[in-house]
Amino acid sequence: MTTKERYDTVVRYFQAHMPVAETELTYETAFELLVVVILSAQCTDKRVNMVTPELFRKYPTPKALAAADFSDLFGLIQSISYPNNKTKHLLGMAQMLLDQFNGEVPMTVEELVQLPGVGRKTANVVTSVIGQQPNMAVDTHVFRVSARLGLTKNATTPLAAEKQLVKHLPTELIHKAHHWLILHGRYTCLARKPMCDNCGLTHLCVYYQKQQKRLAKTAATKS
C-alpha cells in the first residue's frame, strides 16, 4: 500500500464513520476557546468543561480576566492539572491580548505562540477550529494513532508528526482530521488496550499487524 493509498483509505473511513468531528471542549468565542485549550493541557476535556461555566461567568473577556485576582482565579481552576502555572498563564495571556492585540485573539500561529501558556499545539487548535486553517495539532492521541495507522513513519516528535500529516492529508480536511484522530484515540485506539475489535482500520494498521504476528509467533512456540 502506497502512502497516498493509506491516507485515502483512512480519510474515506472517517468520512463514512465520523462525518461530524468536533472538539469536545465547550466554548462560544475565540477567547473562550483559547482559555479552554490552555486549561486542557494534560487534563481531560470533561474536567475542563466542568470548571469553565463559572470561570466565564466571572471573567467573560480578556479585560475582565486580566484584572482577576490570582487567588480567586486559582480557586476556580484548582481541580485542573497544574492550576498554579495555568493561573499565571491565563492572567499573562489576557494582559498580552490587551497590550498587543487590542483585546482580540490573533489568528496566526506565529502570533498566538507569543502568548503565555500557548505552544504550537494550542495555536494549531485555535486556528484550525476557529478559522478552519490547515493546521494540525498533535497531542498524545494524534501522535499515537497516526503512528499506529502508519500515517507517520519514524516521527519522534509532535512537530515531525505534524509535518508528515500536513504533507499528505488533503488541505481542506486537515482541520477535521485533527478531530478524527483525537476521537479515534480517545474512544477506540486507546493507549494501553486498543479496542481493535471495534476498529475498521485494522487491515492497514501497522500496530495491529505487528500484534497479530507476535501472537502467532507466541502460539507457534507454545505448540
196 is in an annotated binding site: yes
47-67 average pLDDT score: 97
pLDDT of residue 216: 82
Contact (Cβ atoms closer than 8 angstroms) between residue 178 and residue 142: yes
109-115 average pLDDT score: 97
Q: Which of 4, 88, 121, 217 is catalytic?
A: 121
* Average pLDDT score, the chain: 95
pLDDT of residue 66: 97
Q: Which CATH superfamily is domain 30-131 in?
A: Hypothetical protein; domain 2 (1.10.340.30)
pLDDT of residue 215: 83
User: Using CA atoms in the order 190, 195, 196, 201, what is the torsion angle rounded to 10 degrees?
Assistant: -60
Does the annotation count 197 as an active-site position? no
Q: Which of 8, 69, 139, 222 is catalytic?
A: 139
6-30 average pLDDT score: 95
Record: fold of 3-19+137-214: Endonuclease Iii, domain 2 (1.10.1670)
199 is in an annotated binding site: yes
Rounded Cα distance between 174 and 180, Å, is: 10
Q: What are 128-175's pLDDT values in tens digits?
A: 999 899 999 999 999 999 999 999 999 999 999 999 999 999 999 999
205 is in an annotated binding site: yes
pLDDT of residue 217: 79
| Sequence ranges of the domains in the chain | 3-19+137-214, 30-131
Does the annotation count 121 as an active-site position? yes
94-112 average pLDDT score: 97
pLDDT of residue 223: 63
